[in-house]
Amino acid sequence: FIVNDKDGTPTYTQDFALTVKELIQKEYWGLYNCVCGGQTGRLEVATELVSLLGLSKTIKISEVGSEYFKEEYYAERPASERLLTKKLELRRVNKMKDWKIALKEYIDNYYQNYL
């Protein structure tokens, strides 16, 4: 069961680390949003993950609204949890890839090693 009403921006920690390293090396201090590029929601990320793993015929994703999980996760969450990396882009230190590319890279480089 995956919610279909929550948008967000995943963060790939490999790219996050590269971006933070560059910020430190250039001595750029402050607060930064450090998230993957592209726009997506939880449902799309789950669907892409199942597809990348080649499990589309094995795993059935059931779309539900956030209300479905209201008893387990009673803290209300906003409809959009998206962040922008404008400050990183202005400083030309944004190493964050598009979320689909980052997810595929993660599966190719890390998940496959554990099979």
pLDDT digits (tens, 9 = 90+) for 67-106: 898 888 877 888 888 899 999 999 999 999 999 999 999 9
Tell me how many helices (H) and strands (E) the chain has.
4, 4
pLDDT classification of 114: cutoffs 50, 70, 90: low
Which H or E run contains 41? Answer: strand 40-41
Name the average pLDDT for the chain: 92
Q: Of 28-32, 44-48, 69-73, 96-100, where does mean pLDDT reach its minimum?
A: 69-73
**Four-residue CA torsion sign, 55, 77, 105, 43:** positive
